[in-house]
Amino acid sequence: MSFPQRLIDGYGAFAAGRLPAEQHRYRELAERGQHPEIMVIGCCDSRVSPEVIFDAGPGELLVIRNVGNLVPPHQPDGQYHGVSAALEFGAGVLNVKHIVVLGHAQCGGVKAFAEHADPITPGDFIGHWMTLIAPAAARIGPRDNITKEEYRARLEQASILFSLDNLMTFPLIRRQVESGALTLHGAYFGVATGALSVLDRASGEFHPVGTGR
């Protein structure tokens, strides 16, 4: 099977347009290394690319993506922890100044959890991974007098707060937050509308961000 033509065409457009315009930046990043100030923890959903949503150039964002934009709690048990390794790299090596947990509407992982979806494979990797949000679901309570869509939206946002809480279980991150060197943020993206809301930590509510246009 040949390499996807869509990717070849896309690279051709990149090499002819954006690459020449940003060649100096790429060379600089290659020579001096990367120094992004912002890390974004996002979902692997193809509709919510942080680089697209925030119109980021090369070297501006350090991005972690997984099903459901989740952060598991700190668990140094000798197992393989991809999210934890990326957090260690971002906070401990690159010294990012901001970490943003970016959730989104119509999240398939949250839907699978909320609707008790059947396992896709015997390993049920998605189902097991999404049990991480069980405490967030318990926090918002049962789905009473609201639609499935409204409940899932609440759970999507509650899981963002839950991931922010889990970030604080990492000693390195906690130290940097408490010293003022690092700030944690939550954001929520509406796939259909393109609207972005950011979390007010004091109230626990998400408020829309104006486009300024």
Residues 26 and 16 in one domain: yes
Residues 29 and 98 in one domain: no
Residues 48 and 130 in one domain: yes
Residues 8 and 89 in one domain: no
pLDDT tier, 147 (very low <50, low <70, confident <90, very high otherwise): very high
Residue 211: per-residue pLDDT: 62
Number of domains composing the chain: 2
Residues 114 and 93 in one domain: yes
**Alpha carbons 112 and 2: distance in angstroms, whole number:** 33
Residues 26 and 127 in one domain: no
For range 82-110, the mean pLDDT: 98
Residue 210: per-residue pLDDT: 77
Residue 144: per-residue pLDDT: 85
- For the residues of the chain, what is the DSSP string, one character each? -PPPHHHHHHHHHHHHTHHHHHHHHHHHHHHH----SEEEEEE--TT--HHHHTT--TTSEEEEEETTS--PPP--SSS--HHHHHHIIIIIIS--SEEEEEEESS-HHHHHHHTTPPPSSTT-HHHHHHGGGHHHHHHH----SS-HHHHHHHHHHHHHHHHHHHHTTSHHHHHHHHHTS-EEEEEEE-TTT--EEEEETTTTEEEEPP---
Query: Is residue 213 included in any domain, yes or no?
Result: no
For range 121-150, the mean pLDDT: 93
pLDDT tier, 199 (very low <50, low <70, confident <90, very high otherwise): very high
Residues 132 and 158 in one domain: yes
Query: Is residue 51 included in any domain, yes or no?
Result: yes
Residues 99 and 184 in one domain: yes
Residue 142: per-residue pLDDT: 87
Query: Is residue 188 included in any domain, yes or no?
Result: yes
Residues 133 and 202 in one domain: yes
Q: What percent of the chain has pLDDT over 70?
A: 99
For residue 212, is pLDDT > 60?
Answer: no
- pLDDT per residue over 49-88, tens digit each? 999 999 999 999 999 999 999 999 999 999 999 999 999 9
For residue 200, is pLDDT > 70?
Answer: yes
Residue 133: per-residue pLDDT: 96
The rounded mean pLDDT for the chain is: 95
For residue 213, is pLDDT > 60?
Answer: no
Bridge partners, residue 99, by sequence: 39, 184
Residues 165 and 129 in one domain: yes
Residue 143: per-residue pLDDT: 85
Residue 145: per-residue pLDDT: 86
For residue 190, is pLDDT > 60?
Answer: yes
Residues 61 and 92 in one domain: yes
Question: CATH number, domain at 99?
Answer: 3.40.1050.10
Question: Which structural domain range is residue 38 located in?
Answer: 34-208
Query: For the range 26-35, what are the long-range contacts, defined as Cβ-Cβ under 8 Å and sequence gap of 24 or more?
Result: 26/58, 29/58, 29/59, 34/59, 34/62, 34/94, 35/59, 35/94
Residues 146 and 133 in one domain: yes
